[in-house]
Amino acid sequence: MCGVSGFWGFPPGGGEPGAIAAAMAERLHHRGPDDAGVWMDMESGVAIAHRRLAIVDLSAAGHQPMVSASGRWVLAYNGEIYNHLELRRILAVEGAAPAWRGHSDTETLLAAVEAWGVNEALKRSVGMFGLVLWDRRERVLWLARDRIGEKPMYYGWQGGIFLFGSEIKALRAHPAFDASVDRGALALLLRHNYVPGPYSIYSNIYKLPPGTWLRVEAGDQEASPVSYWSLAEVAERGESDPFTGSESEAIEELDRRLSSALRGQMMADVPLGALLSGGIDSSLVTALMQARSSRPVRTFTIGFEEKAYDEAAQARAVAMHLGTEHTEMRLSADEAIGTIPRLSEIYDEPFADSSQLPVHLVMRLARQHVKVALSGDAGDEFFGGYNRYVLGPAIWRKIGRLPDALRGAISKGLTSLPAATINRVAGPMAQLLGVALLGDKAYKLGLRLRDLRSVNDLYVALVTEWPDAVRIAKANMVPPNLLEERERWPRLDNPAARMMALDAMTYLPDDILVKVDRASMSVSLETRAPFMDRDTMEFACRLPISMKLRDGRGKWILRQLLYRYVPRTLVDRPKMGFSIPLDEWLRGPLREWAEELLAESRLHREGYLDPVPIRAAWEQHVRGEGSFGYRLWSVLMFQAWLESSRGLSK
């Protein structure tokens, strides 16, 4: 795991290119504290910098940027290629293997590019990566990102210079960087609690989409990403060519594919462990790891003082059953408060998934003992873990039959009531709809009910926090994005399958994986996720929905596989998610901090946000008349980011 950065184009004002490249790399020291390197082509004006976290081949033979055996290609990359030994074998059979200098996957990837070209090398590689390649012969720069977006890559033209890097903080170190806020991206942040790709909070700085490469020639500011792997296409193929074996055969095949993924992902020349919450996904990953290990696997979890949010006991019970070497810590409100000032530094742009707090702390805990940790991320998106996959279609089957006038009346009734009464109203409403619907879900549904015309509308409503985000952000409009451009949605007949695919294309790379990558790399910890193995994802997309959702619950097939390793009494419980008691903390220990950031005079002075709806939501929340913690968190994270960004030097 590493950090890459660099630029193409001589810096303004005659700055020394090598010093600028080194400064960009130094901003990524946390991603790679073990080694650093800068490579430059002065004639072309290209500089590539690298920070290394040594995981495989700890010797100098793994140093980056690395030049290919022929001297044509220069590579710096962040990530791991798990099948690199298999790629070496294929290269040898084809007579295309160089005289290997070491056993790093970086050298393997370079040889693959040299033998097969960039696109084919990416297609054959199984792993996670954000990389930059310079073709010295053709004078072309390539950027590429892994299939699902585990590793980041930012880029953009600024003042005639092409900048790129694993994190925005590296780009900010370049003197050409322009820190103008993109108001359209700000509106998207308020809608979804994250800035969805390809946008960033900064104008003209973009995230390279997952599963794509970008080929840039000198001065080509119109270059567009090209897909080498598409989740939408994989999901569509899966529905048209589903797995037709029996349930027991499906479980066996999933076991085989996950075990194969584990073989590659447990490859490391450093200590390795697992993040264990006690839920289905992390328990299964830990169980499969322990089954392959001759020693107790190191496992780590975070607990909360508030019992309603605490999964530590369940994680401890699973660890005890599997025989892992388990470590846990408890998170208090005081520790959360102490962590908040670091969030803007860690995430570079405003990011408002409140579980970022415990995730950062569990990464910090794990890094004290290991250098690599495996996680259960993506189990929800590929195997039906979120409640909306069950609730969404069930709700629509009920409300879709109601006349528009009646839906409008229900909507008006719900949203005109004080939000504190929503839980009481949700009971009768749940009986009407035939589903369990409480609190913020009832309010969110009520707010949009009159506008819903399809189950697709319902899905968008469920993943939206501030429906009027454009007005609040004082934006003219939101830029084109997948959730609004429905012609780009996967063409899937089953609404739950469509929701899963959309979550895997949006929420997973732009929220979950951003959270995990930045939190782990801020403490120089590499994380790996077997559920995002290529073969596992493609198999999951072929599974019938009945093998994922059954009896009102998700992850049916994951549960059946897990029961082979862990008694169902230890893991059969409602999904909690890795959340914090945000509503309570904002009314209590975080209230003073939040009040300062949400002061009406401050919002007016800064000019980015409309204070009226924000203050109304805050005052209702504080009085206990509503629970608006999640939507307020997006405003608070923007305000905190804005405050810290003023102190950042370019």
Question: What digits encode the pLDDT tens for the residues 154-173?
Answer: 999 998 999 999 999 999 99
Whether the bond into 65 is cis, omega within 30 of 0: yes
Residue 339 contacts residue 357 (beta carbons within 8 Å): yes
Residue 199 contacts residue 155 (beta carbons within 8 Å): no
- Is 2 one of the annotated active-site residues of the chain? yes
Q: Residues 93, 534, 234, CA angle at the centre, nearest 5°?
A: 115
What pLDDT was estimated at residue 418? 58
Which has more confidence, 326 or 401? 326
Residues near 307 by beta carbon (within 8 Å), at least 6 away in sequence? none
Q: CA-to-CA distance for 375 and 468, rounded, in angstroms?
A: 35
User: What is the pLDDT averaged over residues 211-220?
Assistant: 94
Q: CA-to-CA distance for 286 and 272, rounded, in angstroms?
A: 12
Strands 298-304 and 325-331: parallel
User: What is the pLDDT averaged over residues 449-474?
Assistant: 91
Please tell me the pTM assigned to this model.
0.94
In the predicted structure, residue 522 carries a pLDDT above the cut 60? yes
Residue 208 contacts residue 153 (beta carbons within 8 Å): yes
Residue 228 contacts residue 213 (beta carbons within 8 Å): yes
Number of Cα atoms under 13 Å in the Cβ half of residue 434 = 10
Map residue 3 onto helix, strand or coil: strand
What pLDDT was estimated at residue 448? 67
Q: CA-to-CA distance for 644 and 578, rounded, in angstroms?
A: 26
Distance of CA 548 to the CA centre of its chain: 22
Q: CA-to-CA distance for 459 and 545, rounded, in angstroms?
A: 17
What pLDDT was estimated at residue 80? 94
Hey, what are 113's tokens? 């590019």
Which one from 1, 2, 110, 513 is the annotated catalytic residue?
2
Number of Cα atoms under 13 Å in the Cβ half of residue 57 = 18
**Tokens 């093998």 -> residue:** 547
What pLDDT was estimated at residue 436? 45
Give the chain's mean pLDDT. 91
**Could you give the residue ranges of the DSSP H alpha helices within 293-329?**
312-322
Number of Cα atoms under 13 Å in the Cβ half of residue 543 = 29
Q: CA-to-CA distance for 284 and 304, rounded, in angstroms?
A: 23
What pLDDT was estimated at residue 496? 97
What pLDDT was estimated at residue 445? 67
Q: Which of 98-107, 544-553, 567-576, 582-591 has the lowest mean pLDDT?
A: 567-576
Report how far apart, in Å, the C-alpha atoms of 56 and of each of 93, 387, 533 are: 23, 39, 19
Report how far apart, in Å, the C-alpha atoms of 508 and of each of 199, 336, 424, 513 are: 15, 24, 33, 6
Q: Which of 14-18, 317-321, 443-447, 574-578 has the lowest mean pLDDT?
A: 574-578
Name the phi and psi angles at 207, rounded to 5: -95, 130
In the predicted structure, residue 438 carries a pLDDT above the cut 50? no
User: What is the pLDDT averaged over residues 592-609?
Assistant: 96
In the predicted structure, residue 426 carries a pLDDT above the cut 60? no
In the predicted structure, residue 70 carries a pLDDT above the cut 80? yes
3-state secondary structure labels for all residues of 514-540: HHHHHHHHCCCCEEECHHHCHHHHHHH
User: What is the pLDDT averaged over residues 543-547?
Assistant: 97
Which has more confidence, 401 or 195? 195
In the predicted structure, residue 59 carries a pLDDT above the cut 60? yes
Hey, what are 505's tokens? 């294309």
Residue 22 contacts residue 3 (beta carbons within 8 Å): no
